[in-house]
Amino acid sequence: MDRQIRIAVKEDAKELLALYTPYVEQTAITFEYEAPSLDEFEKRIEQTLKKFPYLVAQQDGQLVGYAYAGPFRPRPAYDWAVETTIYIRQDQKKTGLGRELYQALENLLSKQHILNLYACIAYPTVEDEYLTRDSVHFHQRLGYRLVGEFYQCGYKFGRWYNMVWMEKHLGNHEANPSPVCRFN
C-alpha cells in the first residue's frame, strides 16, 4: 500500500465529490440534502486554498480521503481559530488514514499560527443507520474535547439530530500572538 498526503488541486474535485456523495445520500454525517455539483465542489476547494490547507490522501492512485480547514467566524478576533473537516472513503475507515490526514493538517495550521481547531459534528441521541457517534470518538482520540451541544437542530431522513462542537488547542495563547499567515 502506497499512501501519500498532498495539497488538493481543482482537478481532484470529481473524485472527491464521488467520495463525499455517499455521505450526503446515505448518512446524516453531513446535513446537506443533495450533493453539490462538480462546479460547486471545485469552487469549494479553490476558495479554501486561498487561505487554508485542503489535503487529500492518495493510495494506489486513488483518492481515499480529504481534510481541510475553514474560517471559524468572520470577525478578525477569530483569526486564530478554524473549523476542521474530514471525510474518508467508506472502505478506508479505521485504517489510521483519518489520523494521518488530521496530523498533516494540524502541522500546516500550526505553521500559519492557528491556535484553535473546532469540529462541528452531527450527533445522534440514539445511534441509527444514518448516524453513529464514531466521529466524536475519533476526535476525542485526537485530543479534541466536547465544548457544546445543540439539541434537535438538524433534520434529515425524517429524524432530528443534535450537533456538537469539539475543540482542540494547538498552542499557547499568548498576550501578543503571532499574526496568522495565509496558506501558501
pLDDT tens, position by position, 26-78: 999 999 999 999 999 999 999 999 999 999 999 999 999 999 999 999 899 99
d(CA 120, CA 114) in angstroms, rounded, equals 17
| pLDDT tens-digit map of 141-178 | 999 999 999 999 999 999 999 999 999 999 999 999 99
Q: Is the pLDDT score of 117 beyond 70? A: yes
Measured from the Cβ of residue 14, the count of other Cβ atoms closer than 10 Å reads: 12
d(CA 115, CA 113) in angstroms, rounded, equals 6
Compute φ and ψ for 181, nearest 5 degrees: -105, 155
d(CA 153, CA 163) in angstroms, rounded, equals 7
pLDDT confidence band for 125 (50 / 70 / 90) = very high
The predicted pLDDT at position 146 comes to 98
d(CA 13, CA 156) in angstroms, rounded, equals 25
| Averaged pLDDT, 9-30 | 97
Find, among 168, 95, 102, 157, the residue nearest to 124 by Cα.
Answer: 157
The predicted pLDDT at position 183 comes to 78
d(CA 20, CA 25) in angstroms, rounded, equals 9
Percentage of the chain exceeding pLDDT 70: 99
Compute φ and ψ for 126, nearest 5 degrees: -130, 130
d(CA 167, CA 146) in angstroms, rounded, equals 7
pLDDT confidence band for 95 (50 / 70 / 90) = confident
Q: Tell me, what amino acid is at 104?
A: A
